[in-house]
Amino acid sequence: MTEGVRTELYLLIAGALLLASIVGSKASGRLGVPSLLLFLGVGMLAGSDGPGGIQFFNFQLAQTIGTVALAFILFRGGLDTPWREVRPVLKSGLSLATLGVLVTTALMGLFVHLVLQVPWLNSLLLGAVVSSTDASAVFTVFKERRLGLQGKITPLLELESGFNDPMAVFLTLGLTSLIVDPTLSGWSIVPLFLKQMLLGGVVGYGLGRASLWAINRLSLQFEGLYSVMTIALALIVFGAASVLGGSGFLAVYIAGLVLGNADFIHKRSLIQFHDGFSWLMQIGMFLTLGLLVNPHELLPTAGLALACALFLVFVARPVAVYLGLSLSSLPLQDRSMVAWVGLRGAIPIVLATFPLLAGVPNANVLFNVVFFIVVTSVLLQGTTLSLVARLLGVREDLPEPTAYPLSYLPTGYDRTKMVEVEVGFGCRADGHRIVDLNLPQGALVILVHRAGQFLIPRGATRLVCGDSVLVLADGGDLRQVRQILGQPEGVPAGLEAGAPG
């Protein structure tokens, strides 16, 4: 087979696998199975033990693909995380991302050492690899299920899943180093942790602000170049933090958080682009990880892996959450829901490749056990999230976003926004004409959405409770508009129609 034909065959196979994964994601909703599990299944079917018969054993390449994919998934997660919602749960989220990961690692290590008679460091290494919830799994399952959760549960879970990966990476690398080089002291890795967290946070925030400035100040000739620019900026943030010795994962998430909570040119189209791009990263990552696994190698470790998975789901994760939230004011049912949403996904499988490449003894067994744990977690927890939320009484319906027949493109040089504000019951605007509301002169009412219809507003138009009003104004005037329309300051403003397009 010539080189050109081989390249074309590879492209054909890649396209077929991507298409099969997309079709599988559509079927996942009907089957009640998270699409991430189907992506893994497609990869396994295409692998050496499946009908595809593809021989793929390049753990280094799989690790690289997984690292790059996770960086963009975390960047997209940051873009989509509203700071006003996560700020009240910042302390709780950081506690789960640090103390929660440590407790999970310790409990899993204790269980594996005492019950399965595995050496201490190797037991703790397994605990570290599976210690963090997976951002891609959490974000994806929530979107697929359109799962709305009451109170602060959703922002807490999103913040935890974005912040706890750096801790798991640090513990995995540190324990791997201690196993490979027994002369090292356990305390020697503590300065490494502090350096990674500090530099990751500083670089992420600093380059996030610099990225915001660059996007708004560089007038590119073609709109499509802005998408390429944000890819480049995300790579620079991740690479710069990693080269300096910080956590690239933490840096890229914080940079996305900074950008997502600011106004910049083409914001809506760029967020939509990164939504599709993160799906490509997820599919590619899970397909690659699925190709690595040989199902016949999972059978000898199935009993061991199942015991670890059940202990993680029913003991280690709940204990870690209850301890991590011991000082929180969250109700018990909210904490219980957080404990159940301990989805493991791609990050543990990617982390399991580090011991393999470092030459840790029996690392292949660890990889197979971790893979089994991930499949069990996604299958058990991912398919029951809606049921558990209903049983705990914490589920709520997500409002359908209004599709407005217009878009707004801010220049990035001013503070003007276009937002949707709902008329509250009994507020000043309820039952009154727009002309009588004394709205700020700088505020412009553009459209009124009522009972599925769009009304062109006039001064004589009467607003009623439940109307969604599209308003264009700057930040100061918007605060007054929200007070008049019955939405006090501090309450989320709902859909931002001003996410630029």
CATH number, domain of 458, equals 3.30.70.1450
Angle 392-395-400 (CA atoms, 0-180°, nearest 5)? 175
Q: Are residues 89 and 211 in the same domain?
A: yes
The tokens of 201 are what?
């946070």
Flag whether 141 is in a domain. yes
Flag whether 13 is in a domain. no
Q: Are residues 189 and 281 in the same domain?
A: yes
Residues 477, 440 contacting (CB under 8 angstroms): yes
Q: What is the pLDDT of residue 239?
A: 96
Flag whether 501 is in a domain. no
The tokens of 460 are what?
């004589």
Q: Are residues 389 and 421 in the same domain?
A: no
Sign (positive or negative) of CA dihedral 244, 250, 253, 258: negative
Q: Are residues 354 and 467 in the same domain?
A: no
Q: How many domains in the chain?
A: 2
Q: Are residues 200 and 267 in the same domain?
A: yes
Tens of pLDDT along 308-322? Answer: 999 999 999 999 999
Q: What is the pLDDT of residue 490?
A: 40
Q: Are residues 372 and 464 in the same domain?
A: no
Dist. CA 222–CA 98, nearest whole Å: 43
Tens of pLDDT along 28-51? Answer: 655 556 677 788 888 888 888 888
Q: Are residues 371 and 425 in the same domain?
A: no
Q: Are residues 198 and 318 in the same domain?
A: yes
Domain boundary among 396, 430, 465: 396
Range of the domain at 469: 417-484
Q: What is the pLDDT of residue 136?
A: 67
Flag whether 325 is in a domain. yes
Q: Are residues 355 and 426 in the same domain?
A: no
Whichever domain contains 174, its CATH number is 1.20.1530.20
Q: Are residues 287 and 386 in the same domain?
A: yes
Q: Are residues 444 and 385 in the same domain?
A: no
Higher-pLDDT residue of 138 and 332 is: 332
Grade residue 500 by pLDDT with cuts at 50, 70 and 90.
Answer: very low
Phi–psi pair at 125, nearest 5 degrees = -60, -45
Q: What is the pLDDT of residue 343?
A: 83
The tokens of 432 are what?
């009154």
Q: Are residues 244 and 381 in the same domain?
A: yes
Flag whether 28 is in a domain. no
Bridge partners, residue 420, by sequence: 470
Most confident option among 103-117, 385-399, 467-481: 103-117
Q: What is the pLDDT of residue 494?
A: 39
CA distances, 437 to each of 338, 427, 443, 459, 476 (Å): 43, 11, 12, 10, 17
